[in-house]
Amino acid sequence: MLFFGLPAAGVDETLSSWLFRCSVSRHVQNFKRIGLSEKPTSWWEGLEIKSIDPDVDYLEASKRFARNMNVSFHGNFEQFFSFKRSDVVDWRYRRFFCPDCLRADVANGRLPMWRKSWCYAHSSICMMHGKHLESLNDASRYSKAWEAFANICNSVPRGDANVGWSGGGFWSATVSRVESSMINCVGGERTIQQELFNKLFGIFLQAPYRNGRGGAARINFYIEKGVRFAAPTSLEHSVSIGPSTADPSSRIGSFVLAAILLDALPLSRYSLITKIFEDGRSGVVLPRDIHLAAAFPSVDRVGYQALRRILGYVPMGRFPLLDRHLQLQQDRYVRDGAFDGHSLGDSAHQQQ
């Protein structure tokens, strides 16, 4: 997108990233860097309020441009900067980035840009460079792309301690394979698979609740400590915020577990992944049995009822490995005294 006298917006760039680059462009006199990077509240009333999202406040951005440049861009803003998917995480959790993308920006003679593709709940791998995303401690500022570059990218390259997460295109190829498998499903089958995938993805990334360690992917795959957040108020709440608050390694772990249970990846892929980590220095030791690696959270009877509601209906026989997994989890809940007499995935009792 081109506006006269302003930096060209990147195809995948967020609105706040472009606004920051405008503020430091030598062609622009109406914006001061301090107004965006240090005191964003001078631009966006109530930015510190968690419900305010400067990446989608197209109307306020257009008003600001209209006041300072006597031109309206509202329609272009929304059309160009809107997110293309629905699983966008809250502003305060958009902290993961690809260092190679930022380095490429600078190498091409422009300020680093924050990408929309890093802002989704499923974001864990840079599909361009096949790299595991890294994190920025404070992602609350418009200038976070520059800060990520200055603090991490523009420093002496670090040795990759997380060898299990290296391997170039292995992880991006894994993600592409899952996406292709789901796209090839037709009609209602595709909808059912996608809905179940999202539910399992959230369960495996459940945020720690009631002194628990969280979902299976957080326990088995995490390398980096996640962000701080208020204690979940219920099991449903802990599952709903899980993907947003999880680190990239936990996200890709959950992605793989859900995909295998839904036949979007072969079980042999999990065996390969366990070997990769065993041969590396990631510090991650995965259970060899995927049913242990993907164990549902420990709950009481009330929690079991909540878990049934979250999971919803599962068509028996459509996903054999998932059927087996649900039976194993249910057997465990029977032993623990949490089972309420209704099976996981049973459509007849989902309203209870």
The answer to whether residues 219 and 122 belong to one domain is no
DSSP label at residue 8:
P
Query: pTM above 0.75?
Result: yes
User: From the DSSP assignment, how many helices (H) and strands (E) are in the chain?
Assistant: 16, 4
Rounded to whole angstroms, how far apart are CA atoms 123 and 219? 19
β-sheet bridge partners, residue 135: 96
Rounded to whole angstroms, how far apart are CA atoms 322 and 192? 13
How many angstroms separate the Cα of 263 from the Cα of each of 205, 250, 319? Answer: 19, 20, 7
Rounded to whole angstroms, how far apart are CA atoms 91 and 13? 14
Rounded to whole angstroms, how far apart are CA atoms 4 and 267? 53
The answer to whether residues 140 and 201 belong to one domain is no
Task: State both tokens at 231.
Answer: 């204690």
Alpha-carbon dihedral sign for residues 22, 23, 25, 30: positive
The answer to whether residues 135 and 255 belong to one domain is no
The answer to whether residues 139 and 219 belong to one domain is no
Q: Are 205 and 214 in contact (CB under 8 A)?
A: yes
Q: What is the pLDDT of residue 56?
A: 87
| Domain presence at residue 163 | no
Rounded to whole angstroms, how far apart are CA atoms 212 and 78? 41
Residue-wise pLDDT for 9-64, tens only, equals 899 999 888 888 877 765 554 444 444 444 333 333 332 333 468 888 877 777 66
The answer to whether residues 53 and 184 belong to one domain is no
**Percent of the chain residues topping a pLDDT of 70:** 78
* Of the listed ranges 166-170, 295-299, 319-323, the one predicted with least confidence: 166-170
H or E element at residue 97: strand 96-97
Rounded to whole angstroms, how far apart are CA atoms 198 and 156? 38
| Domain presence at residue 68 | yes
The answer to whether residues 25 and 106 belong to one domain is yes
H or E element at residue 134: strand 134-135
Rounded to whole angstroms, how far apart are CA atoms 113 and 12? 9
| Domain presence at residue 88 | yes
The answer to whether residues 289 and 175 belong to one domain is yes
Rounded to whole angstroms, how far apart are CA atoms 200 and 110? 40
Q: What is the pLDDT of residue 54?
A: 81
| Domain presence at residue 238 | yes
Tell me which of 131 and 44 has the higher pLDDT.
131
| Domain presence at residue 188 | yes
**In this model, does residue 318 exceed pLDDT 60?**
yes
Amino acid identity, position 168: G
Domain total in the chain: 2
The answer to whether residues 344 and 198 belong to one domain is yes
Rounded to whole angstroms, how far apart are CA atoms 227 and 237? 16
Rounded to whole angstroms, how far apart are CA atoms 251 and 140? 21
Q: What is the pLDDT of residue 210?
A: 87
Mean pLDDT (whole number) for 166-176: 79
Give the domain extent around 28. Answer: 15-153
Out of 153, 186, 204, pick the residue that ends a domain.
Answer: 153
The answer to whether residues 124 and 199 belong to one domain is no
Out of 104, 124, 153, pick the residue that ends a domain.
Answer: 153
Task: State both tokens at 103.
Answer: 């380095």
| Domain presence at residue 158 | no
Mean pLDDT (whole number) for 88-96: 91
Residue-wise pLDDT for 255-307, tens only, equals 999 999 999 999 999 999 998 888 776 667 899 999 999 999 999 999 999 99
| Domain presence at residue 274 | yes
DSSP label at residue 56:
S
The answer to whether residues 111 and 232 belong to one domain is no
| Domain presence at residue 3 | no
The answer to whether residues 252 and 326 belong to one domain is yes
Residue-wise pLDDT for 51-67, tens only, equals 468 888 877 777 666 66
Torsion of CA 132, 244, 187, 348, to 10 degrees: 130
Out of 153, 183, 212, pick the residue that ends a domain.
Answer: 153
Rounded to whole angstroms, how far apart are CA atoms 266 and 277? 18
The answer to whether residues 69 and 116 belong to one domain is yes
